[in-house]
Structure 1
């Protein structure tokens, strides 16, 4: 029997944790299959997909930078969420066709679902305006959040995620993080407030997000999608204020889980998440 497999493509690709995650799940489920890294240059995308289309063992691929938009014209079908976001991070081989999906939003929103179940007033304060921010903005608005944006370039934020923010008065520069909307938010049993860092600030090699602990006052859930390091300065400051926090591994594992089920036909064993997290942070 041919061994089914999927892979992850990008340029560069050595940093991807996806093979570790998918390999862990394949092993726990006893599935005879594989998941590999594949370094693909932009100019080689055509030949990559031509080769994979001819390989009946191939179940699809995850797509990382810089290919999330470049792959779209090469696919046969694009899912509604990927169309809205304007990017594909998962390609599934199905019925001799290639389908493009985006699981980033699903992965992002997963840890928030238990927190919003009884909240009718939902507000999110989103830092960043890149591709990850688009997927996150899409997921938040699909779940009834009102968004505010904080970006070094509000005009760029308007272009990238403005369609999710009809009130243009909620497009702020980064300076508004100081003594601005976050410090003045209101609480309430029916309200949830979520601060999301979807920028590289706080990532190894980047400056931390410039926000003082006092500006994290209020009833905030602080969510930082950075995964290196997992415990960012922002999350540490939020915990010191007694705030709830969600780290980047939550989104990473969640988006991978949605892709895994598409590739291998069954959900991954999420009861082992704690063990997987330990491996990813070793």
Structure 2
């Protein structure tokens, strides 16, 4: 039976691992908003048909976009915030009252939210990966004027191009290269995620006051974070960015701010 209430979705391939439905449903319930949020498995070849079908659905409020669609979705919706030029990847699509679909990116804000109180100006940073999530990370780093940025990626030319695109000084190295010293290390790749290869790196070059931030949230305690904890380094897990970007998207979809006073309860739900 077709839903008679407003709804939003998260799309990807695969999609069963997504925790977005848990997050948005939790907030909808707390705020007593009569709406729904669901996961929708969309294969790459079906992306255009999916977008067309939702454009005609007046109950559809939008969707979060995860792998592998963050780049491809740029070709199917309008881009009023010039996300294509600024970040180069979209993770959120919404529908206006007149049926127009537009995209934006809440990943950059979600990534930065747990770092907002830190002074990272001038700090050297290592970023692992050069995909859609890495683009959001690099965009955020370019806005807080960090120091040298090293990108580790299998495709060094792609990583070098991203440094130039975001106006960042640094270097691109092959994925297996030894780490330089840096105050912040960010894993913006899928390595370490359930069903993917492990991220196997030596953290010895990092100083004792370095911060390790893994965007992977399934599993939550990744091998990278366990290694960092064993060294006594500060860590941030993938739920921080996941909840942060979801909060921005929730406001777009449902025109209401998430109830942050329940964040501890939400985190326990996601871990459980």
How far the C-alpha of 1:218 sits from its partner, in A, is 3.5
CA distance in 1, matches of 2:196, 2:49: 35
Contact 1:134 1:161 in 2 (8 A): no
The whole-number CA distance in structure 1 between the counterparts of 2:102 and 2:260 is 25
Distance 2:200 2:13 in 1: 30
The residue number in structure 2 matching 1:189 is none
Asked whether the 8 Å contact 2:74–2:103 carries over to 1, the reply is yes
8 Å contact from structure 1 (residues 148, 165) kept in 2:
no
User: How much does 1:21 deviate?
Assistant: 0.9
Q: What's the counterpart of residue 11 of structure 1? A: 13
Contact 2:11/2:42, CA 8 A, preserved across alignment: yes
CA distance in 2, matches of 1:152, 1:44: 28
Deviation at 1:206, TM superposition (A): 4.1
1:58-103: CA deviation from partner (whole Å, max 9, x where unpaired)? 1111112222222222213342345422121101112422110011
| Contiguous gaps of at least 5 residues in structure 2 | none
1:39 alignment counterpart? 41
**Aligned alpha-carbon RMSD (Å):** 2.2
Q: 2:25 aligns with which of 9, 18, 23?
A: 23
Match of 2:113 in 1: 110
| CA drift at 1:53 | 2.3
- Residue 121 of structure 2 contacts residue 146 of structure 2 at CA under 8 Å; is this kept in 1? no
The answer to which structure has the higher helix fraction is 1
Question: Are residues 1:227 and 2:229 paired?
Answer: no
Q: 1:266 and 2:256 equivalent?
A: yes
Post-superposition offset of 1:222: 0.8
Q: CA 1:136–1:166 in structure 2 vs 1: closer, same or farther (change >3 Å)?
A: closer
**Displacement, 1:5?**
1.1
Q: Give 1:134 deviation, angstroms.
A: 1.1
- Residue matched to 2:79: 77
After superposition, the Cα gap between the structure-2 partners of 1:112 and 1:70, relative to the gap in structure 1 and judged at 3 Å, is same
How many residue pairs match? The answer is 267
What is the TM-score when the length of structure 2 is the normalising length?
0.88
